[in-house]
């Protein structure tokens, strides 16, 4: 007896389930060990703790956007191989999502109230990129991940040196995001035009600037 091939409705149901898990529940993780299991933390002053909460909240919302982006692209990807790459990357992004949320709560903070808005916008962008074509969709992933790595480097410079847990999480995220970019490039990602790259950078600044406060 052969298994039924998933149809577009099956994929849509999967995306709805993933959205609910991302925004209101706990997403399914890969089960990897926590990157900060051996990290050492020093005592954080009030201002340092507040900064760490805000930066990790931004990282959490970034992972919400990444989930939405990958899910939107997986929904509209034309090739099964591309869809599988998107779904694999989304699974690793779930780890990041879980780690960031845990850290925000450990520091006594909360996640952003704007997450549903950014999820919806990122999902629409991902679905549109997938519709345009797999090479452009992969190019969007590669450029997104390159910008995320630069953003994480900035956070590592701003975080207190003795916040070992947050720094360990971000370091592992950097490794994974770099691998996602490399995977997209090796799969045939198209280079995005400069205006598109600049628009992506501007959108990222809008997200980070608002989530820092809300």
Point out the annotated binding site. 63, 93, 96, 145, 177, 180
Both tokens assigned to 19:
């959205």
| DSSP letters for 66-109 | HHHHHHHHHHH-SSHHHHHHHHHHHHHHHHHHHHHHHHHHHTT-
b (16+ CB within 10 A) / e for 182-208? ebbbebebbebeeeebeebeebbeebb
- Residues making up the annotated binding site for Fe cation are 63, 93, 96, 145, 177, 180
């Amino acid at each position: 007896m052969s298994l039924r091939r998933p149809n577009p409705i099956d994929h849509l149901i999967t995306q709805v389930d993933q959205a609910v898990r991302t925004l209101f529940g706990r997403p399914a993780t890969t089960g990897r060990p926590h990157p900060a299991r051996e990290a050492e933390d020093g005592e954080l002053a009030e201002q340092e703790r507040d900064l760490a909460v805000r930066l990790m909240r931004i990282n959490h919302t970034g992972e919400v956007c990444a989930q939405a982006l990958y899910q939107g692209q997986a929904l509209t990807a034309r090739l099964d191989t591309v869809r599988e790459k998107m779904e694999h990357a989304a699974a690793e992004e779930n780890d990041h999502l879980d780690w960031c949320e845990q850290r925000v709560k450990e520091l006594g903070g909360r996640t952003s109230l704007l997450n549903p808005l950014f999820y919806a916008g990122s999902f629409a962008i991902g679905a549109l990129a997938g519709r345009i074509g797999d090479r452009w969709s992969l190019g969007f992933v590669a450029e997104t991940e390159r910008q995320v790595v630069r953003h994480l480097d900035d956070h590592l410079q701003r975080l207190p040196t003795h916040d070992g847990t947050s720094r360990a999480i971000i370091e592992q995220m950097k490794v994974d995001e770099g691998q996602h970019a490399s995977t997209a490039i090796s799969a045939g990602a198209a280079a995005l035009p400069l205006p598109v790259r600049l628009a992506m950078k501007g959108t990222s600044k809008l997200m980070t600037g608002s989530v820092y406060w809300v």
